[in-house]
Chains A and B, each alone.
Chain A
Amino acid sequence: MTDRNAYSSWGRYDHKEGENAMYLSKTLPGNKTELVPHYGRWDEYNTYKFDNVSIGNLLDLTDDAVRQKVGVNLDAITKITETEIDMYDIPNTIAEWARKKGYNGIIAPGTRGVKDYENIILFNQNYIDDVLKHVPSDIKPIEK
């Protein structure tokens, strides 16, 4: 991931001018909903599928009971507004808290289309390197 001192890209679960994060989708259709059409056409992207990857200690915001404990409702973390400052305020705060508490990342409800998918957000490059160490370095993008 990009060093925050060079550039902080600011997403729903990575704070502006804070550490960056890696965003993945649990499923291929979910990934497509996430990217298309908001970020462009599907064929503009290379998409990689990681099999047999084990990730632990994630804050699962798709779980009603977890959200209740965190004190946030689904609507507050899945809103789409014109500018990031409005829609990222609450999820940014949760992500900052999760980092401080030592979570490796977050399982988050998708926010685009009919919102029927889930994303995985990972906080730390060393952890990402570790969980992906069994993935072949010459992995090919899936065919579209």
Chain B
Amino acid sequence: MRKEDYKEIKNYKDEPEGSVNKRIYDRYFLPFQEYLKKYYSDDKRLDRWKYFTDKFVKPLFDGTPYRNYRDFLYQATPPFCPDPEKLEIAWELLKDDARFDEELKQFFAFMCACGFLEDWHITFEQFLRISNWMHPWYEEECERKESILEVLNHNYGVTYLKSLLAGAPWLKR
């Protein structure tokens, strides 16, 4: 976000509750925990996460033969292709990681198997600690963003994290 946009957001303070502008204002000026409670206490925020993980992540763990999964990728044409060998290695490291629920563990293993971290030249532990995890290749000027580990320390942090991960630009390009 540019400094000009940040200044503009300050003017949204008195926008009506429920409006997009008020939500944008709250993201920058409300304490993070209050923001999460206000906007991420509803599981409806997870619709896209469920859609994405049902398509691309769960089949890697539910016994679906990899050739069937690969056939599906050919039809869906996403900008990624998880490598089954990398997936196995990542899952070995993640499967007992108590910091994450089962869905997040599977998602992170999928992410490692896609090779994103190698593209960004960072380790998984570094990825968990950076603030620009939605776009690790650049830092925004006025961004306010907690690291993944910081997010998970908050109530409703899991819903927030999953909502954002499902729309990450690295899954779309």
- A residues in contact (CB < 8 Å) with B: 2-3, 6-7, 9-10, 16-17, 35, 37-41, 44, 76, 79-87, 89, 113-114
Contacts and interface: CB of A to CB of B under 8 A. Distances in A.
Interface stretch (B59-67, B74-82, B87-95, B98-106): B74-82
Contacts of A37: 135, 137-138
B7 interface: no
B96 to A, nearest CB: 30
Main secondary structure of the interface of A (DSSP, over half): loop
A41 B55 contact: no
A6 B69 CA distance: 12
Contacts of B47: 16, 85
Contact of A79 (B24, B45, B55, B75): B24
A38 B135 CA distance: 7
Given A10-B48, A39-B172, A40-B173, A86 B23 contact: yes
B173 A82 contact: no
B52 to A, nearest CB: 9
Q: What are the 3 closest A-B residue pairs judged by CB atoms, nearest first? A: A7-B76, A6-B75, A39-B173
Interface in B23-47: 23-24, 27, 45, 47
* Contact count band on B: 20 to 34
Interface string B49-63: 001000100000000
B111 to A, nearest CB: 16
B63 to A, nearest CB: 21
Given A6-B72, A9-B172, A39-B169, A81 B77 contact: no
Main secondary structure of the interface of B (DSSP, over half): helix
B75 A81 contact: no
A84 B137 contact: no
Interface string B118-139: 0000000000000000010110
A88 B158 CA distance: 22
B20 A79 contact: yes
B117 interface: no
Contacts of A79: 20-21, 24
B152 interface: no
B59 to A, nearest CB: 12
Contacts of B84: none
Nearest to B172: A9
B148 interface: no
B73 to A, nearest CB: 9
Contacts of A38: 135, 169
